[in-house]
């Protein structure tokens, strides 16, 4: 399986990239990045492209891909709706349209967020924009598209957020993670679990196209059952 990854330098993208590189069924990972990931792996190829709103210069290199994991995102804090929409909606849809032209058989997996507003009419700006993005992706001519809406995502293997406030938050909350995982096992996921679940859904599909943390956990339960049967 050949995977294309957007957002590989962010916290979630770092975790997803790690799982892709570890998975024996993934033969190649093409990372579209604005700066180098710093990773060295025979399966990894990086294309540095600064303008993610226009992929025309590299579109020909986006062909023969089986799955896209779109992990690119930005905090809405301190941003106008136009600025937030440019990154969240415009960049995502530009990538999706380019990929759809090159790969009609592609599975597109988008990391959204818990509380996303599919009606696009709610009071929360970020939730409306995320909802608009999801709705547009679900109408794209892919073989399938899935929206992941995790709640709290915990960095499992040293992944680091690019946002300073998030780094501070994760440092403060990290000691509580084991307790939260014990009390609310289906409400929190790690970057490792998220990456594994994305690979699982790209390979096997799911009857649910919009998945929250409990749905993501169910995907992983199916993965464990499959491994047990093979053993």
Distance from C-alpha of 20 to C-alpha of 142, rounded to nearest angstrom: 21
Tell the burial category of 123 from Cβ atoms under 10 Å away from its Cβ (0-12, 13-18, 19+). Answer: exposed
pLDDT, residue 229, reads 33
**Does CATH number 3.40.50.720 belong to domain 2-230?**
yes
Q: Please check whether residue 130 is in contact with residue 88, taking contact to mean a CB–CB distance below 8 angstroms.
A: yes
Distance from C-alpha of 115 to C-alpha of 62, rounded to nearest angstrom: 31
pLDDT, residue 225, reads 41
pLDDT tens across 192-209, in order?
A: 999 999 999 999 999 999
pLDDT tens across 39-75, in order?
A: 999 999 999 999 999 999 999 999 999 999 999 989 8
The overall pTM is greater than 0.85: yes
pLDDT, residue 183, reads 66
Residues of the chain with pLDDT under 70: 165-166, 169-170, 176-177, 180-186, 222-231
pLDDT, residue 180, reads 64
Domain residue spans of the chain: 2-230
pLDDT, residue 227, reads 39
């Amino acid at each position: 399986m050949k995977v294309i990854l957007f957002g590989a330098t962010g916290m979630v993208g770092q975790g997803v990239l790690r799982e892709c590189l570890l998975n024996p069924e993934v033969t190649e990972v093409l990372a579209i990045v604005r700066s180098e990931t710093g990773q060295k792996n025979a399966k990894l190829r990086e294309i540095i492209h600064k303008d993610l709103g226009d992929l025309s210069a590299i579109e020909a290199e986006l062909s023969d891909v089986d799955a896209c994991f779109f992990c690119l995102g930005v905090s809405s804090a301190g941003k106008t709706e136009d600025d937030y929409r440019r990154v969240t909606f415009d960049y995502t849809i530009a990538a999706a349209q380019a990929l759809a032209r090159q790969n009609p058989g592609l599975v597109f997996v988008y990391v959204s967020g818990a509380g996303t507003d599919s009606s696009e009419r709610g009071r929360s700006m970020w939730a409306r924009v995320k909802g608009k993005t999801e709705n547009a992706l679900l109408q794209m001519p892919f073989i399938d598209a899935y929206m992941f809406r995790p709640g709290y995502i915990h960095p499992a293997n040293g992944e680091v957020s690019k946002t300073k406030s998030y780094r501070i938050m994760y440092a403060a909350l990290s000691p509580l993670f084991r307790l939260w995982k014990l009390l609310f096992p289906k409400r929190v996921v790690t970057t490792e679990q998220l990456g594994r679940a994305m690979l699982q859904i790209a390979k096997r599909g799911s009857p649910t196209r919009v998945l929250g943390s409990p749905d993501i956990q169910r995907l992983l339960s199916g993965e464990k059952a499959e491994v047990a049967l093979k053993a």
